[in-house]
Amino acid sequence: MPFLGFAATFSLLFTSCYCFLINASLAESDQSGWSPAGATWYGTPTGAGSDGGACGYGDSVEQPPFSKMVSAGGPSLFKSGKGCGACYEVKCWTNAACSGNPVTVGITDECPGCVSESVHFDLSGTSFGAMAEPGQADQLRNAGILQIQYREVDCKYPGTTIAFHVDSGSNPYYFATLVEYADGDGDLASVELKQALEPESWQPMQQSWGAVWALNSGTRLRAPFSLRLTSLNSHNTIVATDVIPAGWTPGETYRSLVNFDA
């Protein structure tokens, strides 16, 4: 009898451990690619957080394709501006109002004080509420602070090509532009400019701030300009040929014919 009792106990323990291992394995598999982060929200409950913020997108964050589904990023997401435009899926499960379904947000602002976790999203009110069960967005926003999961994903702006908004301080010797709506990585490692009549001469632009890139030539620049963009993670490169026309105007936005493959 003692042996039978031992055998039964061992069998029960083995079965319990076996099931635990299977369940743990399934849980790990289900969460593949997801990492933990903290989340808060700012601005108005159904707003875009701020009017463009530290990336420089201005009121574009209110309009399609951003449509207020944006976030400020802590230092590890903002990356001193190099993280502007990157896209992430976020989801929550720690509050009764959480749906558990992922929503996609783009990084459009900086949250320099968001350092309580290694990764922190300060979401717009709209995107924070989008993580909720239907009809419970206000209830979720009332939580204020959440533990969430996130993963980086390709940005996808169907039917939208990359746009270049010329900085208002640009002049014949200094050219700066905001780069918007890049598919794929969303964020950029480098931007280069080629002047008219210089088919092989690409000049590196410097990241001025946020998603604004600038070239301080010292000599008069000759338009039209072509711009060559290299994405931050995948290192894909595309060229917007003659996208800035002769007679360009500071403050104007010029739409290219190209985008990265998402």
Q: Do domains 35-153 and 163-255 have the same CATH topology?
A: no
Q: pLDDT tens across 218-230, in order?
A: 899 999 999 999 9
Tokens of 80: 């001193």
**Would you say 96 and 131 are in contact if contact means Cβ atoms under 8 Å apart?**
no
Q: Which residue has the tokens 């890139």?
A: 213
Q: Is the pTM of this model over 0.75?
A: yes
Residue ranges of the domains in the chain?
35-153, 163-255
CATH architecture assignment, domain 35-153: Beta Barrel (2.40)
d(CA 84, CA 180): 9
Q: What does the pLDDT average to over 56-82? A: 96
Q: Contact at 8 Å (CB) between 140 and 94?
A: no
Identify the CA nearest to 106 among candidates 116, 121, 125: 121
* CATH assignment, 163-255: 2.60.40.760
28 pLDDT band, cuts 50/70/90, is very low
Per-residue pLDDT at 68 exceeds 60: yes
Question: Confidence band (pLDDT; 50, 70, 90) for 32?
Answer: confident
Q: Which amino acid is at 203?
A: Q
CB atoms within 10 A of CB 18: 10
User: pLDDT category, 261, cuts 50, 70, 90?
Assistant: confident
pLDDT, mean of residues 243-254? 97
pLDDT at 200: 78
- Sheet of 163-166: strands edge to edge? 206-209, 212-216, 174-180, 163-166, 253-255
